Amino acid sequence: MKNTFLTLTMTAALTAMAASAEEVRVYNWSDYIDEDLLSKFEEETGIKLIYDVFDSNEVLETKMLAGGSGYDVVVPSGTFLQRQITAGAFQKLDLAQLSNHGNMWDVIEARTEQYDPENAYSINYMWGTTGLGVNTGKVAEALGDDAPIGSLELVFNPANMEKLANCGVHFLDAPAEMIPAALAYLGEDPNSHDKEVIAKAEAVLTAIRPYVLKFHSSEYINALANGDICVAFGWSGDILQARDRAWEAENGVEIAYNAPSEGALMWFDQMAIPADAPNPKAAHIFLNYIMDADNAAAASNYVYYANGNKASQPMLVEDVIGDPAIYPDEKTLENLYTTTPYDTKIQRVVTRLWTKIKSGT
């Protein structure tokens, strides 16, 4: 008995030591990975993985800028990444530790370079578009069979929104994505940093504001799947997840995703290592693990987002690689735009405009 106790305490002590030595802390978006990949990582590498989630770039950025977050890997979107690199929040990647780096897709790397020159600080995890998720049955009921579900007309034309209001419309609570969309609807440059141009978005958004049930960046997945709402302006993969949940629930709800024909925002979620990461070596091992073609494919097959990993494409299921909503064809790809981060002054204008639109104040 005494011996058993001794062995137990010793084992516990050893485990504790091992844990403190080999531990990697990852901070990723919510609902953004196949959890099997996490346990597989621990099995393959013997490194304990601590996985936390967030649901807004702002929360992540605040942690990064406050410093000392304790995370080894974080996943900001392109524009936020760029700003945080400027603030000195990240360390350069050591390519020597990333044997799978050759798997990355040059088409995507060419686009992420505008946020992270030479892709020195980050690798692409997923990318996607921001567009329209609709409950096809309910929208047809409200607007008829020829409802413009592939156009910004659906959500920015007050006449349409008035009819949709009864079945519920959610917008992302993300001004950096919604204001460019309003500008695209007006035919302006969505990536404009000009105060006067940005101000033009106000009229568009204010006109349809009364018909928007909620501005929120994650609730729409469930709301769409349950049939609580009929339209969500959200992220491609999230809407496709809602589509799947509705299928599984067999509740008669049919969801479709479309990147608007007037142009859709293309965004990139980049994995990067904070400058003060406690365990950068393990962080590199985690990035290398994600860059493995099979793992990247498994992640995309699960979350319905396209990834930046060329080598993973043969392993993707047809549902993903064959869906133009996820991997757009050449023509759609041309129609996508990217944005660059606002400076502090313009950011304040944008936030203030957004508050005014949302609250009327």
Residue span 139-168 as binding mask against another protein, x where in contact by CB under 8 A, dash where not: -----------------------------x
Residue span 224-243 as binding mask against another protein, x where in contact by CB under 8 A, dash where not: --xxx---------------
Which of 212, 265, 298, 353: binder of another protein (CB under 8 A)?
A: 212
Tokens coding 178: 């919604």
Asked whether the beta carbons of 57 and 77 are under 8 A apart, the reply is yes
80-108 in b/e burial notation, b at 16+ Cβ within 10 A?
bbbbbbeeebbbebeeeebebeebbbeeb
Report how many residues bind another protein under the rule CB under 8 A.
36
291 lines the binding site for another protein (CB under 8 A): no
Which residue is listed with tokens 């007006």?
Answer: 186
Is 2 buried (19+), middle (13-18) or exposed (0-12) by CB count in 10 A? Answer: exposed
* Smallest gap from residue 226 Cβ to another protein (A): 6
* Smallest gap from residue 357 Cβ to another protein (A): 9
* Smallest gap from residue 121 Cβ to another protein (A): 15
Q: Which residues 59-78 are close enough to bind another protein by CB under 8 A? A: 59, 61-62, 64-67
Output the CA torsion sign for 141, 145, 151, 153: negative
CA 322 to chain centre: 20
Nearer to another protein, 73 or 89 (CB): 89
193 lines the binding site for another protein (CB under 8 A): no
- Four-CA torsion 93, 19, 36, 26, nearest 10 degrees: -40
Residue 250 CA to residue 209 CA, distance in Å, equals: 32
Q: What's the 3-state SS for 335-355? A: HEECCCCCCHHHHHHHHHHHH
Residue span 302-331 as binding mask against another protein, x where in contact by CB under 8 A, dash where not: ------------------------------
Residue 113 CA to residue 115 CA, distance in Å, equals: 5
Residue 345 CA to residue 124 CA, distance in Å, equals: 29
Which of 22, 34, 58, 109: binder of another protein (CB under 8 A)?
A: 58
355 lines the binding site for another protein (CB under 8 A): yes
Tokens coding 75: 């996943």
250 lines the binding site for another protein (CB under 8 A): no
Q: Quick one: which segment of 120-128, 150-158, 180-188, 222-230 binds another protein (CB under 8 A)? A: 222-230
Nearer to another protein, 9 or 222 (CB): 222
Binding site for another protein (CB under 8 A): 56, 58-59, 61-62, 64-67, 83, 86-89, 168, 173, 175, 212-215, 226-228, 344, 347-348, 351-352, 354-356, 358-361
